[in-house]
Amino acid sequence: MSPNATGLPYDRVWNFSAGPSALPVSVLEEVQRDLLNYKGTGMSVMEMSHRSKVYDSIINGAEATLRRVLKVPDNYAIIFMQGGGTGEFAASYLNLFACKSVRDKQRKLGRPLTCDYLVTGSWSKGGLKEVKRLGGTTNVVVDGVKSADSGAVSYSSLAPVSEWNLGKPEETAFVYYCENETIHGVETPSSLVVDAVDPSVPIICDMSSNMLSRPIDVKRFGAIIAGAQKNMGPAGVTLVIVRKDLLEREEPDTEAVRGVPSVLDWQYYASAGSMPHTPPTFAIYVCGLVFKWVEEMGIDALDQLREARAGLVYDMMDKHPDFYRGVVDKQYRSKMNLVFNLPTKELESKFAAEAAERNMVQLKGHRSLGGIRISLYNAMPLEGAQAFVAFMKEFYEANCQ
């Protein structure tokens, strides 16, 4: 293993992709060592039966490690699924409306319960759209912020809680929000939501892009969903942490589950240890290695690292606000996905091109917004942020007017 000009091994680059994202080098090295012959079995994890004792230890070990790292209570199930975050948009709605407590509540009300959505960017908007597509009754708690001048909606901040339109608890099935909007660079503090919502209403939180980056109080959520490809592993597996009472169904449960496809059924997966049929075996194996890496690093240390990385970039932006134009309200700026614009689109293209020449890649903003986006997930060491900030300083000095 020899470092390249960036100080990274194996001729690697500083990968600032929003996902699929960089993985810890030590995890990749372990995967590499075991790729052809996993622990003396004579085969790769990609080749072995998911019904074997060896794979059983892999998936159970991954779950046990994650449960320790996040201090997941015993009354929560941990499920590995497929379908990504978009699949879980539908799964959240379908599973909640199949569970006994929500069906009892709806019968008592005498009409459909509403699904409350905090819309803070593209992904929460996508979740809302999916539930509408499935015929759910929705209530938009907040939808970005409106310009005082034009009335146009932007996803650059969050309205104060006093302006939220939360439904009545007895009329609400669940509250859904995305904690970190990968595209818009808005991060909503979990305490802001869980303190505002009545404890009787389950909160469903999409933590795809900030999972495992800081400690969380799992017991304050009904369910947490997350695609793996940001902070936990390769694309292809989705994590669900769900309170077990939300998996309870009526008996007989034919009517309750009629509209829930097996591939999206949390109870179906939980009752079979995430393996009612072949799971994404290799992706789960890599996730298990990442969970071990997080445990060794310490989640509090990763929280400090995320603050330090983001702080370096935001400090540079704040020193030159007319050049590095931040678009997100400072109190809601994401620590994972940092977005900004430059004075012209030409400068943005030049910035990305020159950064690539310095082995810094995947810096273009999302195609729907443009600009620049740097994603600083767990596997990005502080040196990566330092290298990026040094380039920001150099680029500013060469191009400021």
Catalytically active residues are 123, 206, 230
Taking residue 292's Cβ as centre, other Cβ atoms within 10 Å add up to 18
| Structure tokens that stand for 134 in this block | 């499935």
Taking residue 78's Cβ as centre, other Cβ atoms within 10 Å add up to 20
| Structure tokens that stand for 386 in this block | 């330092």
SS (H, E, C) the chain: CCECCCCCECCCCEECCCCCCCCCHHHHHHHHHHCCCHHHCCCCCCCCCCCCHHHHHHHHHHHHHHHHHHCCCCCEEEEEECCHHHHHHHHHHHHHCCCHHHHHHHHHHCCCCEEEEEECCHHHHHHHHHHHHCCCEEEEEEECEECCCCCCEECCCCCCHHHCCCCCHHHEEEEEEECEECCCCEECCHHHHHHHCCCCCCEEEECCCCCCCCCCCHHHCCEEEEECCCCCCCCCCEEEEEEHHHHCCCCCCHHHHCCCCHHHCHHHHHCCCCCCCCCCHHHHHHHHHHHHHHHHHCHHHHHHHHHHHHHHHHHHHHHCCCCCEECCCHHHECCCEEEEECCCHHHHHHHHHHHHHCCEECCECCCCCCCEEEECCCCCCHHHHHHHHHHHHHHHHHHCC
CA geometry: angle at 134 spanning 368 and 152, to 5°? 35
Query: What is the bridge-based pairing of β-strands 114-119 and 172-178?
Result: parallel
C-alpha pair distances (Å), 295 with each of 67, 323, 376: 10, 39, 19
Query: What is the bridge-based pairing of β-strands 203-206 and 172-178?
Result: parallel
